[in-house]
Amino acid sequence: MLNRYGLKLDEFIINKGGIDLIELQLVKESEKEVLYNIFQKYLYEMTQYYDDELDDTGNYLYRYFDDYFIESTRKALFIKLEGKIVGFIMINNHSYIHQKPDYVITEFSIFPIYRKKGIAREAIDKVFSQYPGKWELKYSLKNKAAVNLWNKSTEIFKPVVYQLEDDEQVLAFQTN
């Protein structure tokens, strides 16, 4: 598969030639259903690490989903590559460790076909740049890819590591 620059997707290099190809776009109310559909696939994938069950409609329950379109402290962002949705990130300010962060990454996903191409790191760098401040993020230690991604993406900020029960860690750090 070639992109508009004639690069094979598997050879894709983010910011090639200084061109910024990754965009974070706030999910609009009119795009809520698109995010919900994508989010269900993500929640299914996360059942490798968490014991989430289906509800009576065949979907995974996420009781805060609608709040991302109501509360000003919650943001759902599409991650776009050349205008195409390739993932999402959801942030709020609700601490896992009883702190007062400006932002907490609650959910993050890059679609499988776009993984291992530098897109996740570029999106993470962009969100930290666009939303500077005190951050937290939590991940399962069972998810080795997440452990690697978050440790590499935050090492520059020298995060404080908090161990939670159930094989989870929280990283707390300042980006500015």
Residue range 79-121, pLDDT digits in tens: 999 999 999 999 999 999 999 999 999 999 999 999 999 999 9
Domain ranges of the chain: 21-174
CB 25 within 8 Å of CB 87: no
Q: Is 133 left (phi over 0), alpha (psi -120 to 50) or beta?
A: left
Residue range 9-59, pLDDT digits in tens: 444 444 554 456 899 999 999 999 999 999 999 999 988 888 888 888 989
Query: CA-to-CA distance for 121 and 115, rounded, in angstroms?
Result: 10
Residue range 140-151, pLDDT digits in tens: 999 999 999 999
**Is the CATH number of domain 21-174 3.60.110.10?**
no
pTM of the prediction? 0.86
